[in-house]
């Protein structure tokens, strides 16, 4: 009888561990492969392997000496920081308004944002490009920040609203009784209690410029205004056998700031996304 009871548990544990191992391999092998390719002695795609016979840092040296990688990195970093700040301000204020105040059109506005969040931003890229040319905003980092910030509002407002709905409104009422204004209550109570969801939104919006290729490629055409994604892709377009390992070195360096952010704010990220999802 004991063997009959243990066998299902053993099979279940085996299947769970097997699934975790397979998932880990699927995720880790491409990462390990691109990291090891960045240290490969050759330059082409055909010569790279998971475990190179000779390791070298020449690809990183070549990346900084023969390309404009530092300019691309600086462009992406400035856009990412500005986008994270602007997006968090817009998202937090909008979510606070729809969470704490009742006004005409509130429900229909929320439903409109929910529907808009289902459409990817690049669907409107032709209209965006025409508008930016009309106002002279194309080829400037501000254009990307405007697009990313506006595109982040629909989904993230719902997420942050769900989090703020879980913050007891009695805290606001107690502050009002003590003479605090609505704005003062927002800064003194709402913001300190919303750190996890604020950090999650900031990190998510910081990552958007690093990951996006379509919009920067559409709006930026000059070498001095390229982002990392556009610059790296241009390196290997038709030149896979000459720049692939250099491309791998650039791809590895992209992960550095994102990894640092995840390590620093891991606690807030997990808490923010789970709280916002549960309470939404």
Q: Tokens for 274, please give them.
A: 């789970």
Spans of the chain, pLDDT less than 50: 1, 280
Contact by Cβ (8 Å): 198, 88: yes
CA distances from 116 to 8, 155, 156, 157, 244 (A): 46, 8, 12, 12, 38
3-state secondary structure of 232: helix
Selected from 1.10.10.10, 3.10.20.740, 1.10.3720.10, 3.90.930.60, the CATH number assigned to the domain covering 66-278 reads: 1.10.3720.10
Paired strand residues for 40: 55
CB 46 within 8 A of CB 246: no
- In the chain, which ranges are continuous DSSP H helix? 2-38, 58-66, 69-100, 106-116, 125-135, 141-165, 169-177, 182-185, 191-193, 195-211, 214-219, 228-236, 240-279
Q: What is the pLDDT of residue 121?
A: 66
∠ CA 45-51-52 to the nearest 5 degrees?
60
State the pLDDT at residue 280: 47
- Angle CA(268)–CA(261)–CA(19) in degrees, nearest 5? 75
pTM beyond 0.85: no
Do 243 and 236 contact (CB within 8 A), yes or no?
A: yes
pLDDT at residue 48, rounded to an integer? 65
pLDDT computed for residue 141 by the predictor: 76
Domain boundaries, the chain: 66-278
């Amino acid at each position: 009888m004991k063997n009959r009871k243990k066998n299902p548990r053993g099979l279940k544990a085996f299947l769970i561990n097997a699934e975790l191992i397979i998932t880990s391999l699927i995720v880790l092998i491409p990462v390990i492969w691109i990291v090891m390719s960045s240290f490969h002695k050759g330059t082409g795609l055909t010569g790279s392997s998971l475990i190179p016979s000779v390791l070298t840092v020449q690809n990183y040296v070549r990346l900084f000496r023969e390309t404009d990688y530092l300019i691309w990195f600086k462009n992406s970093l400035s856009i990412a920081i500005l986008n994270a700040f602007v997006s968090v301000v817009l998202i937090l204020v909008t979510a606070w308004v729809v969470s704490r105040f009742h006004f005409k059109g509130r429900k229909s506005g929320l439903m409109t944002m929910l529907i808009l969040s289902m459409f990817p931003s690049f669907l409107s890229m032709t209209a965006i490009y025409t508008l930016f040319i009309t106002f002279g905003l194309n080829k400037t980092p501000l254009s990307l920040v405007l697009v990313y910030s506006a595109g982040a509002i629909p989904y993230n407002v719902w997420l942050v609203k769900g989090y703020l709905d879980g913050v007891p409104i009695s805290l606001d009422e107690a502050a009002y009784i003590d003479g605090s204004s609505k704005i003062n209550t927002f800064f003194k109570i709402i913001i300190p209690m919303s750190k996890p969801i604020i950090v999650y939104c900031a990190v998510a919006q910081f990552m958007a410029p690093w990951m996006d290729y379509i919009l920067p490629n559409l709006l930026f055409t000059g070498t001095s205004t390229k982002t990392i994604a556009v610059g790296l892709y241009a390196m290997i377009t038709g030149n896979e056998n000459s720049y692939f390992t250099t491309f791998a070195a650039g791809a590895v360096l992209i992960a550095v700031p994102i990894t640092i952010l995840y390590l620093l704010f891991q606690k807030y990220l997990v808490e923010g996304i789970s709280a916002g999802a549960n309470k939404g």
